[in-house]
Structure 1
Amino acid sequence: MSRLVLAIDTATPAVTAGVLRVDGDAVEVLAEQVTVDARAHAERLTPNIVDALADAGVSVGQLDAVVVGCGPGPFTGLRVGMATAAAFGHALGVPVRGVCSLDAIAAGSTGDVLVVTDARRREVYWARYRDGLRVDGPAVNAAVDVPGGADAVAGSPEHAALFELPRLAPVYPTAAGLVAAVADWVSEPDPLVPLYLRRPDAKPPRAVAR
């Protein structure tokens, strides 16, 4: 069954939106718009979606599904993508499938691969894969505390550089990677659950004792 899919991700500094045609194992990227700016998730996601749809020659009403990266990622950026995906799904009456954003980076990889992205606070989000399948993580740790065992590393360039491993090309989740991370197109999708892995930086003020 052929379906038109909108894929979006805001779990990293890349604000990604793509339109793809999925027919069984065949995936065709019709258009993709990416803006790399850690502070522009809210400003760039909708324009990137609109531009990707226009480039693909696809109207919103033609979409059959939405795929969204659920992190791990910072609270503010991550919720932009997930809220937008949920809004599209609700408005169009189409399923929204959430995937781990690290899985999207690892999609198509071979061998034992470590994927890392920026978790701030001198830490990384990480997961380890064997032939594209996740075998450990996702988790958040200082780089020195990430378990070894990988043969190569992919993901955020400045954080991948912290590991003495050969570097692979994938840096951010791509539209094709997001779609490849979907395990099941038939069953009812699970509810979207953000992978924050830790509490937000912002905290409510403590009540003053009287």
Structure 2
Amino acid sequence: MLVLALDTATPAVTAGVVELTADPTAPPAVRAARIAHDARKHGELLMPGVLAACAEAGIALTEVDAIVTGTGPGPFTGLRVGMVTAAALGDALDVPVHGVCSLDAIAVEAAAGSPTGNLLVLTDARRREVYWAAYDREARRLTGPHVETPAALVARLPELAVVAAAGGAAEQHADLLGLPVLAPAAPSPAGLVAVAADALRSGAAPEPVAPLYLRRPDAVEPGRRKRVSTP
């Protein structure tokens, strides 16, 4: 099975072609990947990355059997780019689209480097906050995703019993967290497909893909205009 993996929940714009076999013990094999870093150009960079990854993998886009997309948490505009692109391609190619938590995709790879305890995954949420979730040594999510300030997260660390951190905001706040920082900083094609592997192999219809925004949008519907009284 050839799977197209996309994620735009972080400043990294991720696209890749991953081969997944029916063997549940075989990890996803990346045929090609394109990862660019520009938080302001998700829309411009994603489809060129998709086409470049397909070309490197030696396949046409029409040969993709399924699509996996990160659903965040992430900023509104960037996150929508990946999810809308995945939905449009799934409809055009008539293939299933599976959504996975982007933090889960980071955790499944990082957990291999933290076999002795729980793992913290955090990414930049802007506004001086972070998105985060905690995982056990098997990359099973224990709590989250949440959004809050780094200081508030640090206050929770004793109860979380984490021994390492991963994700783009982990290195940024490494001194505050006081934890070893593991790779990766952003979801990879292999990590995204690994999270969805059981669903992909089963052939079950995917659940509706829903974004994990965790915040209300900044834009609000304008209120009713005030009535101007006449003299």
TM-score normalised per structure 2: 0.87
Contact 1:117 1:159 in 2 (8 A): no
Q: Secondary structure at the match of 1:184?
A: helix
Residue of structure 2 in register with 1:41 after alignment: 42
Per-residue CA distance 1:65-116 (angstroms, 9 max, x = gap): 0000000000000000000000111111111000000000001403211000
Deviation track 1:145-200 (CA, whole Å, cap 9, x = no partner) reads 12212111101131455411111121010000101111422211000000000112
1:61 Cα deviation from its structure 2 partner: 1.3
Match of 2:121 in 1: 115
Structure 1 match to 2:3: 5
Corresponding residue for residue 174 of structure 1: 188
Aligned to 2:226: 209
Larger CA Rg, structure 1 vs 2: 2
Q: Which runs of 5+ in 1 are unaligned?
A: none
Instruction: Number of aligned residue pairs: give it.
Output: 208
- The 1:159–1:43 alpha-carbon spacing in structure 2 relative to 1, beyond 3 Å, is farther
SS at structure 2 position matched to 1:145: helix
The runs of at least 4 consecutive aligned structure 1 residues that moved more than 6 Å come to none
- TM-score when scaled to structure 1? 0.95
Cα root mean square deviation, aligned? 1.2
Task: Tell me the distance in 2 between the aligned counterparts of 1:79 and 1:161.
Answer: 32
1:18-37 alignment runs, 5 A limit: 18-23=16-21, 24-25=23-24, 26=26, 27-37=28-38
Percent identity (aligned)? 54
The one of 137, 140, 150 aligned to 1:133: 140
Counterpart position of 1:164? 178
CA contact (8 A) 2:174 2:180 kept: no
Q: Partner residue of 1:184? A: 199
- Is residue 135–residue 142 contact of structure 2 (8 Å, CA) maintained in 1? yes
Name the counterpart of 1:198: 215
Counterpart of 1:192, as a letter, is V
Q: In structure 1, how many angstroms separate the alpha carbons of the residues matched to 2:37 and 2:18?
A: 20
Give the deviation of 1:208 after TM superposition.
Answer: 3.3
Extract unaligned runs of 5+ from structure 2: none
Cα distance in 2 between the residues matched to 1:92 and 1:116: 33
Return the structure number with greater helix share: 2
Identify the residue that residue 99 of structure 2 maps to in structure 1: 98
